[in-house]
Amino acid sequence: MHARVLPLKELPGRAYWDDAYAQAERDTVLARNWVHVASGFELPEPGDALPISHAGKPVLLVRQADGTIRGFHNVCRHRGCQLVTAPQSRRALLSCPFHLWAYRLDGRLHKTPFWDPADRTAPEGFDPARFGLMPVATATWCDQVFVRLADDGPSFAEHIAPLARRWQPYELSLARYGGHATYEIRANWKLVIQNFLDTLHLPFLHPQLGDVEKAKHYVDVNEDDTVIGIHYLSGAVDKPKGDGAMPIFPNLPPALMRGQDIVVLYPNTMLEIVPGHILIFRIEPVAPALTREVISAYFVGDGATDPAFASARKDLLAAWDTLNRQDFAVVTAWQAAQVSPAAENQPEVSPVWEMSGAAFRGRIAREVRAREVGAR
């Protein structure tokens, strides 16, 4: 379990603040992998459209008539204006603000006002079928939306397989949205993730979670370098969560009735699961030293909506709000020191406490380095 010992500085300090590094990371980690970019509750109805910036590119997510979500490059095919600049609700067509080319929800080009080969206002042979919105590979899992910007790469099914396998005992189809909270953190997104994977700080920054022995009561998780983190052997029962009486996932084996996964789905989703809820943390890189975090809570069946559990739902997000505030002060201090050469010279990782962070950094470093080597 703790076999490999890796040096802590798989990543140089500039990985956390340098614009050139951030660009290399956008071109590799963020463009080539399936990245978590939105949640279904942000575009609940058919015809809802959500413009996002992903890996530095404008992308548009559109809820289809059949309830699925498709992604497109948010670029009008006429002269390349950004098509949708603010969230839209229940639209039948999406119109470009420049010359009003209009697209159907599935991306087909529907109308090109005063632009028609028949009266020679459009070039001869213009074929609207060739100028639909350009698709971006998009998938939905557990109400979360993932996109892969690169044209080629693994399928989403391949990407999610290690987590789907690991969480097979949980009947995820029962999970229902029950609230969310958004944070901005003045630190690089990779430090936010490493803080989530760091177990040694728990007794110091979060004394409410228990002592060092409790903090140590876990096994490392690493499924194919894609699901990386910690499984607390009794995390579901020995930490206060406020969801004690809520409905739980049925038919869980005894170990999972007590256990708690705290894992990262590479690259940018942090997850917590216990019998009564899933918390899904979307970690969005906004700028090298600015991260947006959206924590979404999912409960089992009626647990998400029954007024009897309203205070339990509130308490859960409140407990994480406290944890976050305890963490963010340190994460921003961690960020601030990365510019110093003194931050480069550190001891090797602890085989007990620090293997997950090392695995996460190791995969980032491999992917970014592969591009830097290839570029030479």
d(Cα 57, Cα 170) in Å, to the nearest integer? 35
Nearest to 364 by CA among 90, 28, 19, 6: 28
Which residue among 327, 328, 357, 359 contacts Fe ion (CB under 5 A)?
A: 327
Closest CB to Fe ion among 280 and 319? 319
Q: Is 249 in the site for ligand FES (CB under 6 A)?
A: no
d(Cα 291, Cα 217) in Å, to the nearest integer? 30
Q: What character string, x for contact with ligand FES (CB under 6 A) and - otherwise, covers 87-126?
A: ---------x-xxxx-------------------------
d(Cα 133, Cα 75) in Å, to the nearest integer? 7
d(Cα 170, Cα 256) in Å, to the nearest integer? 9
Closest CB to Fe ion among 33 and 324? 324
Closest CB to ligand FES among 16 and 101? 101
Q: 110 contacts which partner out of ligand FES, Fe ion, none, CB within 5 to 8 A by kind? A: none
Q: 327 contacts which partner out of ligand FES, Fe ion, none, CB within 5 to 8 A by kind? A: Fe ion
Q: 101 contacts which partner out of ligand FES, Fe ion, none, CB within 5 to 8 A by kind? A: ligand FES
Total site size for Fe ion, rule CB under 5 A: 1
Q: 204 contacts which partner out of ligand FES, Fe ion, none, CB within 5 to 8 A by kind? A: none
Q: At closest approach, how far in Å is the CB of 143 from Fe ion?
A: 25
Q: 99 contacts which partner out of Fe ion, ligand FES, none, CB within 5 to 8 A by kind? A: ligand FES
Q: At closest approach, how far in Å is the CB of 157 from ligand FES?
A: 35
Q: Which residue is nearest to Fe ion (CB)?
A: 327
Closest CB to ligand FES among 9 and 78? 78
154 CB contacts (<8 Å, ≥6 apart)? 34
d(Cα 86, Cα 97) in Å, to the nearest integer? 11
d(Cα 222, Cα 349) in Å, to the nearest integer? 16
Contact 272, 279 (CB under 8 A): yes
359 CB contacts (<8 Å, ≥6 apart)? 6, 222, 225, 228
Q: At closest approach, how far in Å is the CB of 153 from ligand FES?
A: 29
- From 4-12, 37-45, 91-99, 320-328, give the range in contact with Fe ion by CB under 5 A: 320-328
Q: At closest approach, how far in Å is the CB of 147 from ligand FES?
A: 22
Q: Is 76 in the site for ligand FES (CB under 6 A)?
A: yes
d(Cα 114, Cα 25) in Å, to the nearest integer? 43
Q: At closest approach, how far in Å is the CB of 76 from ligand FES?
A: 3
Q: At closest approach, how far in Å is the CB of 87 from ligand FES?
A: 19
| Residues found near ligand FES in the complex (CB under 6 A) | 76, 78-79, 81, 96, 98-101
Residues of this chain that bind Fe ion (CB under 5 A): 327
